[in-house]
Amino acid sequence: MKVVVIHGPNMNMLGIRDQAIYGPMKLEEINAQMKAVAEQNKIDIEFFQSNLEGEIVDKIQECLGDADGIIINPAAYTHTSVAIRDAIQAVQLPTIEVHVSNIHRREEFRQKSLTAPVCHGQIMGFGPFGYHLAMIGMLQIFNEIQALKEQQKAQNQTQA
């Protein structure tokens, strides 16, 4: 199983940018913690960060046939990008949206997510720990998919 973690614009500035909202942890540290969880669970993990909407759309599309799930923080594009939303919807992969801050406690223009309705779930407001929660959520989704496949296989064997 493989998870692709996509970080949107300005996420490369974590640890520098407004620490009162985003905290002192750098993106590299978040990625290292996620990698450790992935390794413990025998999951391949890939990280991608871009400040460019089109590159994020391209990366989501590249996940089709290459990944089993996506964890994404579209950052500012959460509130504006129909293109990222459409890409998530098109690839039909389990996707979890993560935000370091609670977008509902922020400015009004940040409170609506265009991408959340096409994701399996959304985690926000837990700081960098939200990424860990997303990994746990993705592992649960993978377990449910595997259980469903095994159930269908058993039903097919019974019918044969």
Active-site annotation holds for 120: no
Residues written for the chain: 160
CB 46 within 8 A of CB 4: yes
Active-site annotation holds for 22: yes
Catalytic residue among 7, 22, 77, 131: 22
**Of the candidates 101, 2, 7, which has an alpha carbon nearest to the alpha carbon of residue 52?**
7
**Of the candidates 96, 134, 102, which has an alpha carbon nearest to the alpha carbon of residue 115?**
96
**Of the candidates 120, 117, 125, which has an alpha carbon nearest to the alpha carbon of residue 140?**
120
Catalytic residue among 7, 77, 99, 131: 99
Q: Could you give the residue numbers annotated as active site?
A: 22, 99
